[in-house]
Amino acid sequence: MSLVSTTLLAFSMSTDAFAASLCKGTCMQQPRFSVALKTGLVFGVIEMISPVLGWLLGMGASQLVRDWDHWVIFTLLLLLGGRMIFAGLKPQQADDQCCGSSSRNPSWWLIVATAIATSLDAMAVGIGLAFMDVNIWLTALAIGLATTIMSTTGVMIGRRVGAAIGQRAEILGGIILIGVGCATLYHHLAADGLVLIQQMGA
């Protein structure tokens, strides 16, 4: 994967956490930066670990499906991207806005549980990355860093803009994931076509 693809993947993976942190910020009364940063670090660390776990699971199957691994990647990213777009289009319920947080006593256990829930997509992407030639450690670090930045920012601005922008971010993240999946499929098919042409020429 190129630097651009890795960056796009990292920020698309952070949109779920960004939307959740906006919900937290919406409910907090003028959250302090220290609280926002701690929230961002919780999301970031968990989001960084998840793709590594998925990658380890995927490595066991990568040799078995090496001939059609690009279809596995494309299907996974298509499904994940479609789910994110669907979640972004679904109306936000009023009682979902608060997520159990307040400015004085944020529920950190609930924040951790939310971070784990939003990191499941990253784990699934990690499975797909096992079929690609990537440095999983740098990719996971990029995802964790992007999530920390996005989540910290989300808490700080959530009080002013509300959760609506978070849903739009999920839609954008889903579109990016589908785009990365399509690009991966195109490059593999193009490479296979080039090899076939060379073999026919020989």
Tell me the per-residue pLDDT of 124-153, one tens digit each, with 9 for 90 and over.
888 888 878 789 999 999 999 999 999 999
Q: What is the pLDDT of residues 99-119, one digit of tens each?
A: 444 444 556 787 888 788 778
Torsion sign (Cα): 139, 129, 188, 71: negative
DSSP track, 118-186: HTHHHHHHHHHHTTS---HHHHHHHHHHHHHHHHHHHHHHHHHH-SHHHHHHHHHHHHHHHHHHHHHHH
Tokens standing for residue 198: 């060379």
Give the pLDDT score at 137.
94
Q: Please state, in angstroms and rounded to a whole number, the distance separating the CA atoms of residues 193 and 97.
A: 50
Give the pLDDT score at 159.
66
Q: What angle do CA 11, 152, 5 make, to 5 degrees?
A: 10
Neighbours of 200 (CB within 10 A): 7
**pTM of the full predicted structure?**
0.67
